[in-house]
Structure 1
Amino acid sequence: MRLAGVVILAGGNSKRMGAPKAKLKLPGGETLLNYHVRHATPLNVPIMIADNEHGFKVDEALAARSEAPIFHIKDYGQNDKKADNSKTDDKYKNTGGALAAIESALQTSISFVKDTSSKNSLTDYLLVISCDSLIKATELWQHLSAATNRSLHARAVVCLSDDSHLYPLLGLYQLAIEPELRAYLDSGQRRVMRFIEPICQKVAFDPQWQYLTNFNAPEDFVKACQALS
């Protein structure tokens, strides 16, 4: 399997955290956004930042070292002033939610692959990483792609899972699902689990990652940083 791009989801409001997660600082002073960009650059694919137009900055020196482009993208439908949000939950009134960011990244990745390769681009995958995680992009890609290669039937979505939760924002999304996801969003739907469950392959967490993700409050982030070190 091939990787077409990486999207870093950094557009959440982070009310419980008290600050945008992308701007949280690790013990060494590096922001969480720069951390994810730094660990995604060795993959040598386009790195997209979906921050709901917050304009979070990537360190210039870090960006300069990357051989692949690093850029911000707008959520799907963000420019559509006529979008009907009446069917969505209140928490999505001002944003299209995670799936709208993934849809935009899928569209962008398809354009990039078609411009640079004559191969069947729709079988490639997009790596999705949320900003409430300290799992390194390179390690996540290796873990998920290895599990997919061992499977007899590759699924369109491949996500981390533990005994009680599925982590849809730490996963691989095949470019071929773009039209299906676009139709889902156009119908007014936003729920991530409803969309991915029928097409998802679950991959067990690496035990070392137990405390590195899903932090929503300052004390959770402190524990994650301790686990990382």
Structure 2
Amino acid sequence: MSEQSNESALAGIVMAGGQSVRMGSDKAALDWDGQPMLGRIVSVVGERCEQVFVVAAESSPAYRLLYGSGGPAARWVTDEVPDTGPLGALAAGLSAAGAAGAELAFVCATDMPLIGTELIDELVHGVTPSTDVVIAHDASRDHPLAGVYRTAVAPRLHELVAAGERRLLGALETVCTHRVTVSDLDWLTNVNAPEDVHRLRV
């Protein structure tokens, strides 16, 4: 599958429904170079993806603080099943992207301010006709929220959620998943607490 054909059918999904407990305030609204962190992520993802979806329940801090008031120009997906965690949010995002005509979707979290378009390119390059999911990997762990997913896996994920599954990695064991060691591990950096923000800005 060529890179051009992959990108022409590629959507972006940004997961923004977390409660940001360790940060103490909403990570999606955190100022990053003069814009909300979520806006920074959506901007980068939008350089490779024609459509960008932000998954956040209407009760989430991200939705309440940013939707319609300084938030990024993206399509908000708010119909995730309550209390199903990131897996339920991912299923909702993939369903929305698939309904919009995308065959593939780059998925990331809202707390990854160092991602670059090169990360998307490297993951897309790992897609083959037999692959359902391509996720980033480093020396110690997988990163399911830095990956390219076929939107066709959405029904399977919804089935798993309905059966009580909540683990992203557990769900990925049920589909054809390929792991890619990306060239710059800084792309995978998560901002979870105030000290993380200070460290990255020093």
- What is the TM-score normalised by the length of structure 2? 0.83
Name the CA distance, whole Å, in 2 between partners of 1:222 and 1:58.
29
Name the CA distance, whole Å, in 1 between partners of 2:99 and 2:111.
28
Bigger Cα Rg: 1
Aligned match of 2:29: 23
The 5-angstrom pairing of residues 42-57 of structure 1 reads: 42-53=47-58, 54=60, 55=63, 56-57=66-67
Gaps of 5+ in 1: 64-69, 79-94, 114-120
Aligned match of 2:78: 74
Q: Which of 178, 185, 199 is the matching residue for 2:161?
A: 185
Q: Which of 180, 200, 213 is the matching residue for 2:177?
A: 200
Cα gap change, 1:30 to 1:129, in 2 (>3 Å): same
SS at match of 1:21: coil
The 5-angstrom pairing of residues 1-229 of structure 1 reads: 1-2=6-7, 3-26=9-32, 28-53=33-58, 54=60, 55=63, 56-57=66-67, 63=73, 70-78=74-82, 95-113=83-101, 124-136=103-115, 138-148=117-127, 154-198=130-174, 199-207=176-184, 209-210=185-186, 213-226=189-202
Q: Which has the higher helix share?
A: 1
Number of positions where the alignment pairs a residue of Structure 1 with one of Structure 2: 190
Q: Which amino acid in 1 is paired with 2:53?
A: M
Aligned match of 1:66: none
Name the CA distance, whole Å, in 2 between partners of 1:212 and 1:59.
28
Q: C-alpha displacement at 1:212, in angstroms?
A: 5.2
Aligned residues: CA RMSD: 2.3
Name the CA distance, whole Å, in 1 between partners of 2:69 and 2:130.
36
Would the aligned equivalents of 1:157 and 1:201 in 2 still touch at CA under 8 Å?
A: yes
Would the aligned equivalents of 1:7 and 1:50 in 2 still touch at CA under 8 Å?
A: yes
Q: Which amino acid in 2 is paired with 1:73?
A: V
Name the CA distance, whole Å, in 2 between partners of 1:30 and 1:164.
32
Cα gap change, 1:106 to 1:17, in 2 (>3 Å): same
Would the aligned equivalents of 1:75 and 1:100 in 2 still touch at CA under 8 Å?
A: no
Cα gap change, 1:185 to 1:215, in 2 (>3 Å): same
Cα gap change, 1:137 to 1:5, in 2 (>3 Å): farther
Cα gap change, 1:99 to 1:62, in 2 (>3 Å): closer
**Which deviations, in whole Å up to 9, do the C-alpha atoms of 1:68-120 show, x marking residues without a partner?**
xx221124324xxxxxxxxxxxxxxxx3211111111111112111xxxxxxx
Q: Which amino acid in 2 is paired with 1:214?
A: N
SS at match of 1:210: helix
Q: C-alpha displacement at 1:222, in angstroms?
A: 2.3
Q: C-alpha displacement at 1:46, in angstroms?
A: 1.6
Q: Which has the higher strand share?
A: 2
Name the CA distance, whole Å, in 1 between partners of 2:151 and 2:42.
21
- What is the TM-score normalised by the length of structure 1? 0.74
Q: State the identity %.
A: 26
Which segment is superposed worse, 183-192 or 39-48?
Answer: 39-48
Would the aligned equivalents of 1:128 and 1:169 in 2 still touch at CA under 8 Å?
A: yes
